[in-house]
Structure formats: C-alpha cells, structure tokens
A and B are shown apart, each in its own frame.
Chain A
Amino acid sequence: MRNADLNISFGPHFLYFAFFAPLRENHRMSDTFSLAGKTFSSRLIIGTGKYRSYQEMRASHAASGAEMVTVAVNRVPLDRKTESFLDYLDPKMQILPNTAGCYDADHAIRTARLAREALETDWLKLEVIGDKVTLLPDNEQTLEAAKVLVKEGFIVLPYFTDDLIMAKKLLDAGCPAVMPLAAPIGSGMGVQNPSNLKIMREQLPDATIIVDAGVGVPSDAAIAMELGADAILMNTAIAEARDSARMATAMKLAVEAGRLGYLSGRMPKRLYASASSPIEGAIK
C-alpha cells in the first residue's frame, strides 16, 4: 500500500497531487459535523462493545478517526474486582453513554441519570428496546423518556425506527439529532429501507440525522451517507470483523466517500445508456 502511494506521488500525476489535492483536502476538512454546540471532524461514531480485547478496541478507535464513542451502564459485579474500562478510551473522545438494556421509559430515565452522575456528561444515546429477539426500539417509550430527559438538560440522541413522523416528534421534544436504525442492532444487514432515510433527509433538511445500527460493511456506511445521513454510529461491524482496526479504517473511508458523494450530487439514473464518448465522428 505504502509503495503504491509513493509511486503515485512521483508519477505523471505529481503536479495534480502537489497543487490540487491539498485544496481538495482542505475542502474536505471544512465539512465538519456540529452537534449540541460541539464540532466534530469525523462523522463516524463508534461503540466499545464486543471487542476481543481492550488493545484491539483502542487500535480500532484510533484507526476509525472517530471522536465520539458509546459506552453502556451496567451493575458493578459484587463478587470480583473489575478493571476500569474507561481507562482504555482515548481521553480526547466524547463519551456517549447509552441506555442499552432498558425496556421502558422509567428504566431509561434512571439509567440516564446514573450515567450523568458518574461521567458528569449530559450527552446520552437514548435507547428503549421493545423486544429481546429483534432489539427493535419502542418508539413510544423512547419519546416519553426523551421528553423527560430533555427537560432535565440531557443532550438526548434517540435511537428509533426509521420513521419520519417519529423523527419529527423527537425533534419537537428537543432532541438535537435523531438516530434512525438502518437494520436491527448487530445484524449487519445494511440499510434495509433507503427510501425512509431519503424521505427523512428531504423532509427534515435542517435536522441532524445519525444512522445508528445495522451497518455490516463499508458500502452500507457509504450508502447511508449518500442518502444524506449526517453521521453513522456503528459497533459490531468493526468489533466483529476479523481485523477490527483495518475495518475501522475502511469504515472511516466509506463514511467520507459517502459524504462526498452526497455533497457532490449524483448523476440522474436512466433506464437506457448514455454514451460517454462522442458518437458523431467515429470512423466508418
């Protein structure tokens, strides 16, 4: 890989890369992502679960370029000593505690308050699950919890079904962003309903939309970004990859590629061909 890069730098396109590529790079850098008064240069948010080791998690976090990571709140075991998991996180990371494992608004609210007390952060990924098999969100309970937590000053980022009307209600409740799923948590199925995400983007042009859950491969992330998502949150796709750190790099590139694709505006789809080379003037 490194050799190939060098060859390009000193090859026939040297001038292009020397003079134009830096401009493009700057353009890319200026496309930051703001949320609740904080600016991120990465549009990838990643999880901390399921890694085979803390070392692997750290390497993956570094490779992903992510600036925000999710963590879960859990009972301290009474029967054994535990390592401080948070020590393995880059201190520069914005920590986003979640309410995973909560099946109603009350549990999610209690978990949120505990997370805020322990971490001294108002940031919260609100997750109220509707059933154990699918882990699909309970939108009704999520909305109820969001209303209470927003009033308590939390920065509530709700995970919910990819539904426009629910997105509107969550935004009206004061959530600074909405986090529709692409597919069930940990399924790796990719964007199951691209039309829903596209409709949400078009109908809520000013909303911050973070696609959360269901990404399996880099192309899934690129598709979600091409549809206009502002950012993507993923965990399993990186943690369960054979080479997590390399997949983290792939996801970083896919999110960037998808974002640039969205900003560039795609060509129209046509049922029939449209010649790229002039048809007139070909030899006969």
Chain B
Amino acid sequence: MSVRILINGEKKDLPGSISVSDLLDRFELPSQRVAIELNKTVIRKSNWAETLVNDGDRIEVVHFVGGG
C-alpha cells in the first residue's frame, strides 16, 4: 500500500512503510551529523533501523549550516 509522507516540508510517496535508515538511503541523504525528527519527536540514531515511517508522518531531517 502506498504511503504518503511529508519530509522537510515536501510531499513524497513511498511504495510502503520503510525504516528511517531506508528513508535516508532512498533520498540519498547523509547519515553523519544529521538529526531526524518524526512527528516532532527526535529519533535517536540507534533507533533509525527499527523505526518505521508510516502514512501521514511528518519527518524533518536537519544538518548544520552557517549562522550567527
């Protein structure tokens, strides 16, 4: 069953529920020095492999940029 998620503010369709780790691979996102929030809760890196992304989930993947 197709799953629609909102990742970094963009709607994306996935063929089914996948893990947070697989999500990073799918979108070719870095896995070092990034942090992930699923529905406003931080998912620790140690839990990425076992945490599934489901229909309607909101995901934020952040890294660091220049700032003051």
Question: Using a CB–CB distance below 8 Å, which chain A residues touch chain B?
Answer: 47-51, 57, 70-78, 81-82, 84-86, 97-98, 100, 110-111, 113-115, 117-119, 185-186, 213, 233-236
**B9: CB under 8 A from chain A?**
yes
Contact in complex: A76, B34 (CB < 8 Å): yes
- Give the secondary structure class of A's interface: mixed
Q: Which of the residues B10, B45, B68 comes within 8 Å of A98, measured between beta carbons?
A: B68
Contact in complex: B66, A50 (CB < 8 Å): yes
**B3: CB under 8 A from chain A?**
no
Q: Which of the residues A70, A100, A110, A117 comes within 8 Å of B40, measured between beta carbons?
A: A110
- Which residue of chain B lies nearest to A236 when distances are taken between CB atoms in the complex? B68
- The stretch of B13-21, B22-30, B49-57 in contact with A is B22-30
A208-B61 Cα distance, complex, nearest whole Å: 34
Q: Which of the residues A49, A77, A81, A118 comes within 8 Å of B66, measured between beta carbons?
A: A49
A27-B44 Cα distance, complex, nearest whole Å: 46
**Smallest CB separation, B60 vs chain A (Å):** 7
Query: How many inter-chain contacts with C-beta < 8 Å in the A-B complex?
Result: 106
Q: Give the 5 A-B CB pairs with smallest separation, nearest first.
A: A72-B67, A235-B68, A47-B68, A118-B35, A49-B66
Contact in complex: A75, B66 (CB < 8 Å): no
Question: Using a CB–CB distance below 8 Å, which chain B residues touch chain A?
Answer: 7-10, 27-30, 32-37, 40, 42, 44-45, 60-68
- Which residue of chain A lies nearest to B7 when distances are taken between CB atoms in the complex? A78
A238-B53 Cα distance, complex, nearest whole Å: 43
**Smallest CB separation, A231 vs chain B (Å):** 15
A71-B65 Cα distance, complex, nearest whole Å: 6
A84-B30 in contact given A51-B66, A72-B66, A117-B44 (Cβ < 8 Å): yes
A86-B34 Cα distance, complex, nearest whole Å: 11
A17-B29 Cα distance, complex, nearest whole Å: 57
A117-B35 Cα distance, complex, nearest whole Å: 6
Contact in complex: B33, A84 (CB < 8 Å): yes
Q: Which of the residues A77, A100, A118, A234 comes within 8 Å of B67, measured between beta carbons?
A: A100
Residues of B within 8 A of A78 (CB): 7-8, 10, 27, 29
- Which residue of chain A lies nearest to B40 when distances are taken between CB atoms in the complex? A110
- Which residue of chain B lies nearest to A159 when distances are taken between CB atoms in the complex? B68
Residues of A within 8 A of B44 (CB): 117
A185-B67 Cα distance, complex, nearest whole Å: 11
**Smallest CB separation, B14 vs chain A (Å):** 13
Contact in complex: B33, A70 (CB < 8 Å): no
